[in-house]
Structure 1
Amino acid sequence: MTITRREFMVRSGLVAAALGTGTSLSTGTSYAAADTITLAVAARSPGGINPQQTGLTGGDNWAINQVFNTLVEAPDGRWASKPEDFQPSLAVSWESSADAKTWTYKLRKGVAFHKGYGEMTSDDVVFTFNRQLDPKTVTANKVFYTNIASVEALDPLTVRFTLKRPDPLFNGSAVATLSASIVSRKAFEEKGDKFNMDGIGTGPYQVDSITASGGTKLKAFPEHFAGPPATPNLLITYIADTTARTLAFASGQVDMIEGVRAPGWLNTMKQRSAKTIFDATAPGSLNTLHVNLTRPPLNDLRVRQALRYAIDNAQIANAFNGIATPMVGVIAPQFAGSVKMEDLPPELQYKPDPEKAKALLAEAGHPQGVTIPCYVSQREDYASIMLMIQEQLRACNINLDLKIIDHATFHSDNHLDKNSLALWSSSYPPIGTSILASQLASDAEVKADGTGQGNYSHYGVAIPGIDALLDKAQDEPDFNKRTALIQEAEKQVLKDLPLFGIITLSYVIARNPRLDIGYKVEAGPAYWSLSKAKLTA
């Protein structure tokens, strides 16, 4: 479905109008069932619950995180930024060789898979990771696992990973990622494609049903190794429409909603109810703009430079009322490896300059400007950012022929290499090599047949990229030296401009005060565990 810019603005305005009618956001009386936590996410329908499936949405990630476990995990509500920050999960202990190239994990004994699929063993771990390592198997985030040379079962409860290069943060770069969640080999081979909608994991919740109309229904798994979750049932509903989702929260029909990361929403919600709790991650999602280097005139560096001079990151960030930060490079400014504006030469700072943008276009042979066709998701954070970019570019004679389309279609079409300017929003752990590799490594190049990954610019293929610098950084065991190499790669990206860092944007969940999730959310990915969550009234 495609909607116009005017339609998007009208729909966004309906939220403020609805909130301005006196609706109470904290005293709704039609609460969901006392034994069920209900979360409404900003998507039209579930895409699947297979953690290795491509094209999943953020709403799917919420469900996957409850149904599956990884070998190790970060503390609740935080990133694990140092090796000592990681905590046991399916593995009870692990050790690394002195050169950080061999990692051995001792698995927890007696961990049960859902629905009678038996006990988890090292065979399931090897199966899970070998799917990621098999170049013929299409899996999500494959680039995260390219440093793994082999994974082998030493015995039923011991697994050894051998890496191609040293990685002192292997737990963060690969083992604790969502797409490394351990699946049941028996269930996967038995179910085939049906696993995508009836995944078998080891998590605190198991799949009850998944339908387009009923959402994702999860029920407690009483045999979970850490004990059953605090609340028996979890329902994830898919409400793409902002007004409908907000009013469902206001009436008490849902306990949590994915916040509207659009200018004005958060302030309006706070004004209407001081009791509503807002859980927010920092830095949240990294919002980057991929420039397709195979599409003229974007293959001309001068045109890309004109685009960059036309975009005012700070202005876009300011519109989000304190939950956004302008980016300089690709890596969030809060993470090691990011570059600071003051440390860059003037030609790489790209301070907003409309006249310079126009001059670069004229130099590239476009004195009357250019028109670039592209599309963006109708989800408010994507659409509002891209509409602001559209206005900024228009002032510099760059016209975006912008279509606003359904969120799921947006992701699937991007995966088929249909976009010229692809706005990408995702949360990442604080590991610079992973951020750069997933979006800019040649191995992650998008493919028109859907078998590629998240490098929507074709950087490293259409033009020389940063593969050599990434290899060098991944070969460096010293953290500080590795960080310096990552910063060097950041500077090269600023020279070539295959991708622009726009803003980081906190992921926000509005929560009814009757729901206690059991910990404080400070950082981390755009989903978190609800195993400790309970309804208090």
Structure 2
Amino acid sequence: MTIIVACGGEDPAATSAPAPAAQPTTAPAAAAPTTAPAAAAATAAPAQPSASQPTATLTVFRPTATPTGGGGAPAATATPAPTPTQVPMPVGQLKVNRVIAAMPVLQETNRIWEGPWSLLQQHVPFADTLLRNDPTTGAAGPGLAVSWEFNDDFTQWKFNLREGVQYHFGIGEFTSADVAWVHSLLSSDDSVSTMSPVWRTVTVDQVGDYEVAFNFETPYLDGLRLFSRTAGDLYMMSKAQFDAEGMDAIDDRPAGTGHYRYLERSPGLGVSYEQAEIEHWDGATPDFPEFELKFITEDATRMAVLLAGDAHIANLSRDLQVEAANRGMRIISSQQPTIQTVSFMLGQYFLTGDESYRDDVPFEDIRVREAINRAVNRANIMEFIYKGSATPVYVYGWTPSHEGWDPRFEQEFEANYGFDPEKARQLLEEAGYGPGDIEINFPTMNFSGNPELSQIAEAIQLDLDAVGITINLQEMEYTALRPDLVAKQAWNRMWMSRNLPIRTTQEAVRVFYADEGVTHAAMYDELEAMYQQLKATVDLAERDEIARRMGNFAFDNYISIPIAQIFYELSVDPEIVEEYIFSGQTPTSLDHIHLIRGVRE
């Protein structure tokens, strides 16, 4: 059975080894989830955001299928294509021709396979994906592909490509050869992209110049996310250009099909783009002739640049937003909640036979993991760091809109995770640790959209010091930490991370907890077995039950330190930027660049 989605309209195994000497201490298996009696009020109740926020709630990204009566293969339902936004013709002269965004960057490169998908903010202006996302809802619709279909077990996704789309610089036409080539880059042995473990399980068939099929080893229900910007890194660049010019083409002047084309890179400073010389396939024209990403790591420096008029958009922490607003700047927000934040307790390499297992990691004891969670004052983080603009996360990677949500996560959070330093000290003493016995290194860094992560790390340092745990904060580039995460060599460290965009349950587990993932934040036999079961089934009732058991395991075993869920907020100069509507539900959040509207004289 093949299911066709017709869309109209356009939008603007661990290496075998002896088992560990000691098995990690875990909580007893949770009983079948039930709705538990409400516990005391959570540590921090949801608060109103500091800036004006959209009324939209998280778009539900459940698989686009419903179970059949017999519980067998699901039948798909079509996702409506986004409705194009009608933009009135501008009147008057722009105050500036180049709009500049001051943003942190984790890795400077045009090579999409050389790092995590956060680097894609450098590709958003000039490169397109097969599907595109509505700027308000984040829903996927036609992009470089005009229609798509998938089979009854979601092991094949087939796309009909848009004909006549031209690459920048006169390189030639976009075809299926480009799709297959970009996939080969992302699936190569050298690739360390966020989605590379998925792409390596996929083969690509070119069915003529304008049709391509992706064949998965196991069911893949998240195709609408994978092939769009929501949770994908398949950004189209030209194979013909690469064949003619080699790697220099990618490094110096990559050709895309976006609204802007690549202009130049100034290493250590930023990247600039100019309006494409050809009309975009959607007919939209950017308001600003040029766009520039200015790379600035320090939060305070980004604000200084914004206030000085040397940038017009900046990602600032909530405390600096207040000062910027007092100085005349305006705060704008993503249309959807975008990010979950977490602190990981690294070194939980507890799969049977995993050679990365070490018996000197305090996190092996569930009492230590609970104590750390009890010691963290989330209410203070919500009030003083997020300024009331965040809501609690109860199990990292799970939301009420996704598979596996259990009401007990929220209802029992205070009883199990609530701030209680005295309880934390008691648990540490029971585990055999006195004041100063546990010393943990804590690399700190900020991601685009998360300028508060270092501040949260500092707050956690103070909270843990109060219960006798020593935290050594270490300012570090993510590119220095990531190899240890991938290789499972980040023992006895903590690390602030984020779930951006808010992933489906299966994808969150793959990225952060599964053996095939890239973070390896907490690896347990029980969790890995359930993840493999989830991957193998397309029965939605069964998937929900498996995902719920996974969530209960994560909740009951304190495998991470869940913090908050936030919108992506930007500070803009209202003398230059009139409007910017974006969903925020992409790996970079800074998306739909061509929709930035300028103030005119």
Identify unmatched segments of 5+ residues in structure 1.
1-30, 81-85, 445-452
Question: Partner of 1:471 in structure 2?
Answer: 532
**Which AA in structure 2 matches 1:359?**
Q
Question: Partner of 1:18 in structure 2?
Answer: none
| C-alpha deviation, 1:146, in angstroms | 5.2
Q: Is the 8 A contact 1:187 1:200 kept in 2?
A: yes
**More displaced stretch, 64-73 vs 233-242:** 233-242
**More displaced stretch, 242-251 vs 88-97:** 242-251
The separation in 1 between residues aligned to 2:341 and 2:397, in whole angstroms, is: 10
**Which AA in structure 2 matches 1:270?**
A
Question: Partner of 1:381 in structure 2?
Answer: 452
Matched ranges for 1:254-265 at <5 A: 254-261=311-318, 264-265=319-320
The separation in 2 between residues aligned to 1:123 and 1:194, in whole angstroms, is: 17
Q: Is the 8 A contact 1:376 1:404 kept in 2?
A: yes
Aligned with 2:306 (options 249, 257, 261): 249
Q: Does 1:323 align with 2:389?
A: yes
The separation in 2 between residues aligned to 1:32 and 1:258, in whole angstroms, is: 23
CA deviations over 1:90-119 (Å, ceiling 9, x no partner): 001112223333221100011122223321
**Which AA in structure 2 matches 1:395?**
A
Q: Does 1:141 align with 2:202?
A: no
**Structure 1 residues 408, 129: closer, same or farther in 2, change over 3 A?**
closer
Q: Is the 8 A contact 2:374 2:419 kept in 1?
A: yes
Aligned with 1:360 (options 412, 427, 432): 427
SS at match of 1:323: coil
The separation in 2 between residues aligned to 1:471 and 1:174, in whole angstroms, is: 22
Matched ranges for 1:85-100 at <5 A: 86-100=140-154
Q: Is the 8 A contact 1:149 1:162 kept in 2?
A: yes
Aligned with 2:372 (options 294, 297, 307): 307
The separation in 2 between residues aligned to 1:370 and 1:181, in whole angstroms, is: 44
Matched ranges for 1:14-413 at <5 A: 34-43=96-105, 47-55=108-116, 58=118, 60-80=119-139, 86-134=140-188, 136-142=189-195, 145=198, 148-176=201-229, 177-188=231-242, 190-192=245-247, 195-196=250-251, 198-212=253-267, 214-223=269-278, 224-227=280-283, 228-261=285-318, 264-273=319-328, 276-280=330-334, 282-293=336-347, 294=358, 296-319=361-384, 320-331=386-397, 333=399, 335-337=401-403, 338-341=405-408, 349-368=416-435, 369-377=437-445, 380-405=451-476
**Structure 1 residues 241, 167: closer, same or farther in 2, change over 3 A?**
closer
| C-alpha deviation, 1:153, in angstroms | 0.8
| C-alpha deviation, 1:157, in angstroms | 0.2
Aligned with 1:528 (options 580, 587, 591): 591
| C-alpha deviation, 1:210, in angstroms | 0.7
SS at match of 2:287: coil
**Which AA in structure 2 matches 1:325?**
T
| C-alpha deviation, 1:220, in angstroms | 1.4
The separation in 2 between residues aligned to 1:167 and 1:472, in whole angstroms, is: 13
CA deviations over 1:308-361 (Å, ceiling 9, x no partner): 222233332232122222211112535413444456768983222222222222
Identify unmatched segments of 5+ residues in structure 2.
1-92, 348-357
Q: Is the 8 A contact 1:314 1:325 kept in 2?
A: no
SS at match of 2:585: coil
| C-alpha deviation, 1:506, in angstroms | 2.5
CA deviations over 1:447-490 (Å, ceiling 9, x no partner): xxxxxx222x3x33xx4252222222233324454233222212
**More displaced stretch, 189-198 vs 214-223:** 189-198
Identity of aligned residues (%): 19
| C-alpha deviation, 1:260, in angstroms | 1.9
**More displaced stretch, 393-402 vs 485-494:** 485-494
Question: Partner of 1:28 in structure 2?
Answer: none
SS at match of 1:349: helix
The separation in 2 between residues aligned to 1:103 and 1:220, in whole angstroms, is: 33
**Which AA in structure 1 matches 2:271?**
T
**Structure 1 residues 325, 196: closer, same or farther in 2, change over 3 A?**
farther
Q: Is the 8 A contact 1:441 1:465 kept in 2?
A: no
Aligned with 2:543 (options 474, 482, 495): 482
The separation in 2 between residues aligned to 1:241 and 1:100, in whole angstroms, is: 44
Aligned with 1:437 (options 495, 498, 510): 510
The separation in 2 between residues aligned to 1:193 and 1:341, in whole angstroms, is: 54
**Structure 1 residues 334, 236: closer, same or farther in 2, change over 3 A?**
farther
Q: Is the 8 A contact 1:308 1:350 kept in 2?
A: yes
Q: Is the 8 A contact 1:69 1:89 kept in 2?
A: yes
SS at match of 2:343: strand
| C-alpha deviation, 1:386, in angstroms | 0.5
**Structure 1 residues 354, 468: closer, same or farther in 2, change over 3 A?**
same
The separation in 1 between residues aligned to 2:211 and 2:409, in whole angstroms, is: 48
Q: Is the 8 A contact 2:134 2:583 kept in 1?
A: no
**Structure 1 residues 362, 55: closer, same or farther in 2, change over 3 A?**
same
| C-alpha deviation, 1:160, in angstroms | 1.2
Q: Is the 8 A contact 2:127 2:235 kept in 1?
A: yes
**More displaced stretch, 523-532 vs 508-517:** 508-517
SS at match of 1:65: coil
**Structure 1 residues 52, 229: closer, same or farther in 2, change over 3 A?**
farther
The separation in 1 between residues aligned to 2:218 and 2:422, in whole angstroms, is: 46
Q: Does 1:428 align with 2:487?
A: no
| C-alpha deviation, 1:522, in angstroms | 4.8
**Structure 1 residues 46, 343: closer, same or farther in 2, change over 3 A?**
closer
Q: Is the 8 A contact 1:414 1:422 kept in 2?
A: no
TM-score, normalised on structure 1?
A: 0.81
**Which AA in structure 2 matches 1:166?**
P
**Which AA in structure 1 matches 2:428?**
L
**Structure 1 residues 195, 522: closer, same or farther in 2, change over 3 A?**
closer
**Structure 1 residues 483, 468: closer, same or farther in 2, change over 3 A?**
same
| C-alpha deviation, 1:430, in angstroms | 4.5
SS at match of 1:283: strand
**Which AA in structure 2 matches 1:391?**
L
**Which AA in structure 1 matches 2:239?**
R
Q: Is the 8 A contact 1:377 1:410 kept in 2?
A: no
**Structure 1 residues 322, 432: closer, same or farther in 2, change over 3 A?**
same
**Structure 1 residues 53, 178: closer, same or farther in 2, change over 3 A?**
farther
